[in-house]
Amino acid sequence: MRPVIDESLAPVVLFVYNRPISTGLTLRALAANDLAKSSRLFIFSDGPKKDASPKVLEDISTVRSLIRSEKWCGEVNLIEREENNGLAASIIAGVNEIIDRYGRVIVLEDDLVTAPGFLTFMNEGLRKYEKERKIFGLTGFKAPSKRPKGYNTFFLPVMSSWSWATWKDRWETVSFDGPALLQEVLLRGPASQLDLNGYPFGEMLENQVAGKINSWAIRFYTSMYLQERWFMYPSWSLVRNIGFDGDATHTSYKHFLERVKIETDSLEVDDRPLEIDVRVFRSFRLGYGYLRGKVNGLLRLFGLYG
């Protein structure tokens, strides 16, 4: 019997490239979600770079065989690019395409393992804050910090791309024009105003403008900052990042991520005033305080290298 898609659920958009092992773990966890059989899944598979090695070509082929191998959600749509767009361009174009059709999206990358209640939580948050423009988006990830008493969810003035969701009307306000964003920031003061607890997000925006990096997420975050909007976070993590490859494996960063334990308990979105609790924010910052000075680790924590 063909699964019945629940039209009230947001489509899930997954971006993959050349990591078959983590992609498989991501898809199996997603398929085990309570709402997977009622959800639409769009998988964007980026193409090879012109100078891709035989190993990379083999890995891309393996990933594509994997994403075709099972019906991971109630409906699966595959978009396989012939050329390499890179992560930033892939995400911007892919989200544009799907959010234009459905008005909202839940976004994952190929190294994010989700708890069974992840889709339930994300859809509940999307429904609850659809009309509340102060909330720019939400995530299922929480850094390892003390669980706030009396909270299922809380708000922070910073985004995380380790699972995220938003609505079309908010996405349309995001500017991906790095120079224009930096100019607007500088009209208000130094670029360091973007920094969080001493971490140089302002410098990262400057590096984006200088062409040293290509991050969709720092531009998303800056747009959110300039509009004085917030992200909603869970009080315990429903997502774990398993991408320990390359230079992401340095000891402090890996140890930090190993402290993130995803919970299988269901988590309801709180009905609470729209405000940031200073105590919760302080605890959140202290949770990764020992990474101070290890900038790459923190930027990856928020997904701002993407």
Phi-psi region of 304 (alpha: psi -120 to 50; beta: other; left: phi over 0): alpha
pLDDT over threshold 90, residue 146: no
Express each pLDDT in 107-139 by its tens digit.
Answer: 999 999 999 999 999 999 999 999 999 999 999
199 lies in some domain: yes
The pLDDT confidence band at residue 247, using thresholds 50, 70 and 90, is very low
The residue among 103, 122, 106 whose CA lies nearest residue 41 is 106
- Residue-number span of the structural domain to which 9 is assigned: 1-110
* One domain, residues 64 and 14: yes
> Domain tally for the chain?
2
165 lies in some domain: no
The span from the CA of 298 to the CA of 305, in Å, is 10
The span from the CA of 111 to the CA of 227, in Å, is 30
The span from the CA of 290 to the CA of 256, in Å, is 9
* One domain, residues 57 and 9: yes
* One domain, residues 178 and 294: yes
Express each pLDDT in 43-56 by its tens digit.
Answer: 999 999 999 999 99
Mean pLDDT across the chain, nearest whole number? 88
pLDDT over threshold 70, residue 151: yes
192 lies in some domain: yes
* One domain, residues 140 and 43: no
Report yes or no on whether pTM surpasses 0.85: yes
140 lies in some domain: yes
pLDDT value of residue 293: 47
Strand partners, 164: 107
**CATH number for 10:** 3.40.50
The span from the CA of 250 to the CA of 195, in Å, is 23
- CA–CA distance from 285 to each of 128, 156, 198, 301, 306 (Å)? 26, 10, 10, 12, 21
The pLDDT confidence band at residue 290, using thresholds 50, 70 and 90, is very low
Residue recorded with tokens 């991408």: 243
* One domain, residues 212 and 264: yes
Task: Tell me if 125 sits within 8 A of 106, measured CB to CB.
Answer: no
* One domain, residues 135 and 88: no
* One domain, residues 231 and 146: yes
166 lies in some domain: no
Express each pLDDT in 182-238 by its tens digit.
Answer: 999 999 999 999 987 666 889 999 999 999 999 999 999 999 999 999 999 999 999
Give DSSP secondary structure letters for 171-206: HTT----HHHHHHHHHHHS-GGGG-BTTB-HHHHHH
* One domain, residues 69 and 201: no
Strand partners, 80: 45
The pLDDT confidence band at residue 168, using thresholds 50, 70 and 90, is very high
* One domain, residues 152 and 38: no
The span from the CA of 16 to the CA of 18, in Å, is 7
* One domain, residues 73 and 148: no
* One domain, residues 96 and 203: no
The span from the CA of 100 to the CA of 204, in Å, is 29
* One domain, residues 154 and 67: no
